Amino acid sequence: MTDDEATAAAAADHAVTEGTTTDDAVISLLVVDDHPVVRDGLRGMFESAPGFRVLGEAAGGAEALQRAAVLDPDVILMDLRMPGGSGVDAIRELTRRGARAKVLVLTTYDTDSDTLPAIEAGATGYLLKDAPRDELFTAVRAAAQGRTVLSPAVASRLVSAVRAPKPPGGEPLSAREREVLALVARGTSNKEIARELFISEATVKTHLTHLYAKLGVNDRAAAVATAYDRGILG
């Protein structure tokens, strides 16, 4: 081997040992979903494909946080509505902690009340569970590199939300805040809202605090009245 060849080989070895991401790098995964059949299916799919390694599974948001802290995966495949803790809450907490893992939402829900809060919380991508196998593999690779991946339906919703006019008199409500407000208008208690949206009561109270501030009110009745007056509630 010539000196130039030796130098080139050493440089290549250094690039790999320094953790440079390459197409051949193995991507580690944590699968989060409350349905065992879905977790088993995803594990089997990724373990049968080269370039992926499933480190573990979790059945809810709270367990996902614990497993992520221990396993330190490259990518977390995260469902959203789970009895064991909301996926959005878990994403928000991972972001707060500065977790290294990228979160790719994989769910059956593509409504504004699901997509926008997940993206706002810090998700790198958002796919629906009917995505083709190869599309899912490509999305995970992209997420591992920090690139945003959105299904066409979700991308369209996000564009519409960005273009939506702000309500007169203040900062616009988020999709989740609008959903909480609509339930409040129906007389739903905080406990019932939490159960229906698969979030904690503490999170419901946080959403109420934020929407009160945006609407310039101090209680539920005033929030509903103001929302109707501004056309936020139809």
Task: Write out pLDDT tens, residues 168-195.
Answer: 556 788 888 889 999 999 889 999 999 9
Model pLDDT, residue 154: 76
Model pLDDT, residue 168: 56
Q: 157 versus 194: which is more confidently predicted? A: 194
Q: What is the CATH code of the structural domain delimited by 175-230?
A: 1.10.10.10
95: pLDDT strictly greater than 70:
yes
User: How does residue 227 score in pLDDT terms, banded at 50, 70 and 90?
Assistant: confident
Q: Does domain 21-160 correspond to CATH entry 3.40.50.2300?
A: yes
CATH 3.40.50.2300 spans which residues of the chain? 21-160
Instruction: Please state the pTM of the whole predicted model.
Output: 0.66
User: How does residue 98 score in pLDDT terms, banded at 50, 70 and 90?
Assistant: very high
Is residue 90 within 8 Å of residue 62, measured between CB atoms?
Answer: yes
Rounded to an integer, the average pLDDT of 74-101 is 93
CATH 1.10.10.10 spans which residues of the chain? 175-230
Is residue 183 within 8 Å of residue 194, measured between CB atoms?
Answer: no
